[in-house]
Amino acid sequence: MPNTFMEEKFQHLPNDIQTKIMIHHAHSLPPRPKFKNGQRVRYKPEVVKAMKQAMNGACQGPFPFGELIIYGDPIYIGNGDWKCDYEYGYGLTSEGSTYESRLIAY
């Protein structure tokens, strides 16, 4: 198995270059997700308001305006945000997904 750059050549770089690489690497790690599998969440009030205005009474069926249950682990999508899949409704028979930044704890 071939050695990686970090194993083979990193130690031979000048110290200032090593430092820049390590600082950049530390900043490129994603933040931890706010929510985890099984946690109860809901949409932020301003998101619910925008969704209701967009629907304008034309849609029918259950809507994710109340309690949502996160299922599965959040997926990092970049820009410091995570995608969360959720279930909602009677018997958790409806599902959806959204950005973590649009949610708050229930």
Task: For residues 8 and 50, state if they share a domain.
Answer: no
Q: Determine the pLDDT at residue 27.
A: 67
Q: Determine the pLDDT at residue 40.
A: 97
Q: How confident is the model at residue 2 (pLDDT cuts 50, 70, 90)?
A: low
Task: For residues 39 and 15, state if they share a domain.
Answer: no
**Whether pLDDT at 8 is above 60:** yes
C-alpha Rg value of the chain to the nearest Å: 21
**Whether pLDDT at 57 is above 90:** no
Task: For residues 88 and 40, state if they share a domain.
Answer: yes
Mean pLDDT, residues 86-93: 92
Using an 8 Å Cβ cutoff, are 99 and 82 in contact? yes
Pairing of strands 81-88, 68-70: antiparallel
Q: Which domain holds residue 60?
A: 31-105
Task: For residues 9 and 47, state if they share a domain.
Answer: no
**Whether pLDDT at 67 is above 70:** yes
**Whether pLDDT at 1 is above 60:** no
Using an 8 Å Cβ cutoff, are 73 and 36 in contact? yes
**Whether pLDDT at 48 is above 80:** yes
Task: For residues 39 and 86, state if they share a domain.
Answer: yes
Task: For residues 37 and 17, state if they share a domain.
Answer: no
**3-state SS, residue 22:** helix
- Residue 67 structure tokens: 């309690």
In the chain, how many domains are there? 2
**Whether pLDDT at 74 is above 60:** yes
Sign of CA dihedral 45, 96, 51, 89: negative
